[in-house]
Amino acid sequence: MRDKEEKLLFMGASIGTEEAVSYAREQGVYTILTAQNAPENGEEKFGADEYWNIDLADLVSLEKKCRKEKVTGIFAATSEFCLDMSGELCKRVGLPFYASDAGWAASRDKRFFKQCCKECGLTVPKEYPLDKLVSGEASSSISYPIVVKPADSCARQGVSVCKNRDELLAGYQKAMQASPGKKCLAEEFVKGMETTFFYYLQDGKAVFIGCEDTKYIDVGGNHTSGILLYPGRETESFLKKDHHKIETLFRKLSCKWGVAFLQAILKDGEYYFLEMGYRLDAVYSWSILASLTGFHSVRYMVDLARGKVGTSSSLKERTAILMSKKEIGVMYLIWAKAGRVDKVIGLETVRSMPGVSVLLERYGEGDFIENSASMRQIAYQISILSGDMKEIAEKIKIINNVLQMYDENGENLLLPFQAFEELEFEKEED
């Protein structure tokens, strides 16, 4: 039976909300979801005890409602807008919010993040003066390709790799349209392996959870993530070379609680850090990491919102969680071309495959997929766990064969990963 003395308000319905609501209910917490209009996948799917049809930006109404209903905690999952509103609402009603002001600023401003990285000894891509590039003043001092992107957006929105001045001007317009604050930057294009590092913070202690390596596919001419591999190949070298610098970065940003991830490119043995997320990630990496390490990021974040926290004394000298050496994890991101979905076949077959979980099903029959060149074009996110990479590759081939999404002309909209030669992976021996 849930205790109405402990009420947790869930701000919005983003990736991770369903899992968070489920865990809170298991703990006996009375759960409330607020979202103007129904969430994308339907309110009933999230199973909260109560729903408030209040716009997340209406903080005045939310503050009054929270005080009246005696809400004891506030949670948001992966949406940065929902987290922005949650942080402000927590301040208004006097409830704890895990993120420090500086840490949250670094996660929302790529330029500020890069400056902090440099001050902590971490390498970042060279930045070019975008205003001079656009005006033509600095055209002779740069080497293409370069990356143009918003400084304050996420999910790859507004990012362009530009090979010449015409593409740069088009990329600038695209970045400006995607930037909430109309802040953009231009930086060198670093060609290498994209890697993401995951941490949790407890009472100022930064603990490394794991990392993922990225394998790419082409989506409309854009080089983007298709397969995420866990654990990353260079985990040990990263821990020896850069982990202590990340610890310094978190201290500089006063990050004491929560989970965070940092994205970087590995080139010639050097990591070039791109950006940071001070939140749960939106590609369900926490699901695979929970299976491989036993650490549940979603549960930890819910407990923080409830005020159920420990101290670093329980961590002793721990700096990292050791991943299982018996399993390999893959997150398969299946992208789709633009078009209207007429029919989907094979999804139930995929759901029935052992070791396979369909974590995200974004589009169904009748939905229209826009050519956004952002993560909104990911139709499915599927996790695969196994002790053998060859078995994982075979399962991906089966998924490619059976899962089809057709438009009204009978064309398959899905863009499957095909570069199986890149999935060579030697699992450590026990």
CB-count exposure of residue 93 (10 Å: 0-12, 13-18, 19+): middle
**Phi, psi (degrees; rounded to nearest 5) at 332:** -100, 115
H helix intervals, 179-312: 235-241, 243-252, 285-293, 297-306
pTM of the model: 0.90
Instruction: Report domain extents, the chain.
Output: 3-97, 126-188, 193-423
* Closest CA relative to residue 285, chosen from 200, 393, 374, 387: 200
Q: What is the pLDDT of residue 152?
A: 83
- The residue-averaged pLDDT of 140-150 equals 84
126-188 CATH: 3.30.1490.20
* CATH number belonging to domain 3-97: 3.40.50.20
Tell me the C-alpha distance between 53 and 37, whole Å: 6
Percent of the chain with pLDDT over 70: 90
Distance between CA 213 and CA 43 in Å, rounded? 34
pLDDT reported for residue 428: 44
At 73 the pLDDT is 98
pLDDT at 310: 62
Sign for the CA dihedral angle at 133, 106, 54, 91 comes to negative
Cα separation, 69 vs 224, whole angstroms: 45
pLDDT 10s digits, 187-213: 999 999 999 999 999 999 999 999 999
Q: Residue 70: what pLDDT?
A: 97
Task: Give the whole-angstrom CA distance, residue 415 versus residue 319.
Answer: 39
pLDDT of 155 reads 62
User: Which residues are within 8 A (CB) of 279 and not within 5 positions of it... i.e. 6 or more apart?
Assistant: 77, 78, 80, 83, 99, 107, 258, 259, 260
**Residue 316 confidence (pLDDT):** 46
Long-range contacts of 31-39 (CB under 8 A, 24+ apart): 31/2, 31/7, 32/7, 32/8, 32/69, 32/71, 33/9, 34/9, 34/10, 34/62, 39/12, 39/13
pLDDT tens profile 106-119: 999 999 999 999 99
Integer Cα distance of 194 and 187 in angstroms = 16
Averaged over 75-93, what is the pLDDT? 96
Q: How high is the pLDDT of residue 101?
A: 96
Residue 188: its pLDDT value, please? 93
Tokens of 366: 């009748």
Phi, psi dihedral angles at 359 (to 5 degrees) = -90, -30
d(C-alpha 30, C-alpha 7), whole Å: 5
- The radius of gyration computed from the CA coordinates of the chain, to the nearest angstrom, equals 22
Question: By three-state DSSP, how is residue 267 classified?
Answer: strand
Q: Is the peptide bond before 231 cis (omega within 30 degrees of 0)?
A: yes
Distances (CA, A) of 238 to 58, 246, 278, 286: 43, 10, 20, 20
**For residue 404, pLDDT beyond 90:** yes
Asked whether 234 and 266 are in contact (CB, 8 A), the reply is yes
Residue 45 has pLDDT above 80, yes or no: no
- pLDDT tens digits for range 328-368: 999 999 999 999 999 999 999 999 999 999 999 999 999 99
Q: What distance in Å separates the CA atoms of residue 16 and residue 19, rounded to the nearest whole number?
A: 5
Phi-psi sector, 286: left (phi>0), alpha (psi -120 to 50), beta: alpha
CATH class of the domain whose range is 193-423: alpha beta
